[in-house]
């Protein structure tokens, strides 16, 4: 996409943000302990916006806010609050407000809320629920973290597979436990094996005597309860699913996942990948404190200091050469930096290709070949360029040749490392987004310094 987009779109930038003025008024009401004023200010706000507000308040104001406003904090708001803050909010909520909030929530949201809690706190919340809800949630918690079983809601609208449209509509009109949002009726056989689904649109636009079987969707697809949630999100996006039935190991219907939850997962997974590629702890959040932020970033910087020391010890091998020709010290970071950048380009494409499943066994060989060719072409382009610049700067044709050659070697190695390191990490079951960067820049630093200074030692001395 182009940079024109910002210019072309004239919608107000901050339509979906809290304005500074609103925030000032809210802060004032909190500081003055003015409950009614606060209620009036919050009244028009959507639960997601209230959650954003709670995240953006300073910690002391947040506590005052919850004291003043606690009666109004419901399940919708709790669901939206970022996990890093939520625990703090829950601890401060009166027990009966929390119980009421949880009773309103769909089972997937309750699971999300309590899955990271200690057992006694989990029990306290579960005790507030009806027997059937509690059983469904306890069942969900038996599935692995980040699996479809944790993401699904157990409230599913089903119909026997031999029913007609009219029977189904009559049934829906009688029931009062229906989920807030549902998009399909799942057809099940007597053993609760899903046999297809009918969209509500088809149900509404078909005559009463039409059998459900005749209007099922072609694209029926079930999700295994143990499927990784990232893969679930990928499947939703790829096949444009709106909701999908979840089945257990005996192929029996146990729940349903809806696209809004899949979209949240897709969003989180992307966020994680971006943060991992940048060497930032992937549970970082805008509301983290200085201590939390430092703790997330130090390990990556520590890894980087180790790899830079490796690169430095390569330079140390050539101290004598540098002492004789200091221009080498001036130029050597360019070779390393170009290698690092070219390597990062390739590895990002590889990591994304693996994440989106577009880099598959079927095209790996072709992509590796392409990256190697691109590395070689870039090497020749920038080798010639740096050779030229070096000649203009230092008037030394042999130095030009050395840097040109080193550039070709390092950009080729960068391409090779950029594609092979993520593929290798993926093969052994590690997350390529997490570790590729450190590996690849270490390789390009070491190779860059070694070829440049090594060639210089051979050719120039």
* Among the listed residues 114, 159, 386, 408, the single contact to a second copy using CB under 8 A: 386
Using CB under 8 A as the binding rule, whether residue 55 contacts a second copy is answered as: yes
* Among the listed residues 341, 368, 401, 460, the single contact to a second copy using CB under 8 A: 341
Using CB under 8 A as the binding rule, whether residue 278 contacts a second copy is answered as: yes
CA distance 321 to 430: 40
Task: Give the closest residue to 179 by CA, choosing from 93, 261, 248.
Answer: 261
What is the H or E stretch that residue 440 is in? helix 432-460
Q: Of 123 and 308, which CB lies nearer to a second copy in the complex structure?
A: 308
Q: What is the DSSP letter of 142?
A: T
Q: Of 130 and 174, which CB lies nearer to a second copy in the complex structure?
A: 174
CA distance 261 to 111: 13
The CB-of-91 to a second copy minimum distance in angstroms stands at 23
Site string for a second copy, 433-452 (x = CB under 8 A): -x----------x---x---
Contact, 444 vs 414, CB < 8 A? yes
Q: 254-273: which residues touch a second copy (CB under 8 A)?
A: 259-260, 262-264, 266-268, 270-273
The CB-of-253 to a second copy minimum distance in angstroms stands at 18
Q: 128-187: which residues touch a second copy (CB under 8 A)?
A: 144-147, 169, 172-173, 175, 178-179, 181-183
Using CB under 8 A as the binding rule, whether residue 331 contacts a second copy is answered as: yes
| Beta-strand relationship, 223-224 and 194-199 | unpaired
Among the residue ranges 31-39, 50-58, 63-71, 93-101, the one whose residues contact a second copy (CB under 8 A) = 50-58
By rule CB under 8 A, what count of residues binds a second copy? Answer: 153
What is the H or E stretch that residue 385 is in? helix 364-394
Contact, 101 vs 112, CB < 8 A? no
Using CB under 8 A as the binding rule, whether residue 72 contacts a second copy is answered as: no
Give the helix ranges, DSSP H, for 206-326: 229-239, 259-277, 290-316, 319-324
Contact, 253 vs 246, CB < 8 A? yes
Q: Is 237 helix (H, G, I), strand (E, B) or coil?
A: helix
Using CB under 8 A as the binding rule, whether residue 1 contacts a second copy is answered as: yes
């Amino acid at each position: 996409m182009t940079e024109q987009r910002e210019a072309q779109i004239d919608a107000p930038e901050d339509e979906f943000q809290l304005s500074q003025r609103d925030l000032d008024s809210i802060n004032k009401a909190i500081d003055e302990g003015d409950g009614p004023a606060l209620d009036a200010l919050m009244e028009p706000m959507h639960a997601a916006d209230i959650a954003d507000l709670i995240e953006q308040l300073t910690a002391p104001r947040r506590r005052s806010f919850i004291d003043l406003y606690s009666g109004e904090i419901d399940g919708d708001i709790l669901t939206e609050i970022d996990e890093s803050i939520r625990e703090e909010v829950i601890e401060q909520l009166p027990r009966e407000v929390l119980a009421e909030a949880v009773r309103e929530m769909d089972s997937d949201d309750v699971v999300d809320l309590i899955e990271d809690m200690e057992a006694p706190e989990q029990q306290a919340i579960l005790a507030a629920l009806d027997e059937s809800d509690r059983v469904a949630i306890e069942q969900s918690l038996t599935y692995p973290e980040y699996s479809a079983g944790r993401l699904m809601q157990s409230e599913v609208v089903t119909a026997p597979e031999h029913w007609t449209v009219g029977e189904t509509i009559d049934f829906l009109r009688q029931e009062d436990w229906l989920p807030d949002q549902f998009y399909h009726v799942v057809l099940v056989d007597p053993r609760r094996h899903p046999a297809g689904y009918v969209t509500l649109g088809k149900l509404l636009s078909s005559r009463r005597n039409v059998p459900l079987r005749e209007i099922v969707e072609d694209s029926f697809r079930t999700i295994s309860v143990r499927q990784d949630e990232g893969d679930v999100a990928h499947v939703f996006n790829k096949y444009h699913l709106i909701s999908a039935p979840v089945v257990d190991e005996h192929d029996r219907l146990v729940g349903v996942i809806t696209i809004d939850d899949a979209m949240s997962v897709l969003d989180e997974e992307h966020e994680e990948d971006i943060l991992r590629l940048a060497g930032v702890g992937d549970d970082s959040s805008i509301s983290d404190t200085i201590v939390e932020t430092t703790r997330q970033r130090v390990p990556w910087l520590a890894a980087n200091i180790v790899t830079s020391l490796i690169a430095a010890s390569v330079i140390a091998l050539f101290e004598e050469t540098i002492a004789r020709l200091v221009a080498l010290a001036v130029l050597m970071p360019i070779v390393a930096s170009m290698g690092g950048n070219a390597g990062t380009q390739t590895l990002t494409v590889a990591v994304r290709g693996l994440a989106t499943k577009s880099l598959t066994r079927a095209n790996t060989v072709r992509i590796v070949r392409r990256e190697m060719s691109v590395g070689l072409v870039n090497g020749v382009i920038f080798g010639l360029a740096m050779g030229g610049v070096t000649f203009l700067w230092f008037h030394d044709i042999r130095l030009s040749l050395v840097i040109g050659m080193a550039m070709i070697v390092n950009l080729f190695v960068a391409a090779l490392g950029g594609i092979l390191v993520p593929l290798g990490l993926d093969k052994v079951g590690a997350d390529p987004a997490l570790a590729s960067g450190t590996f690849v820049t270490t390789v390009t630093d070491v190779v860059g310094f070694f070829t440049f200074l090594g060639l210089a030692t051979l050719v120039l001395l």
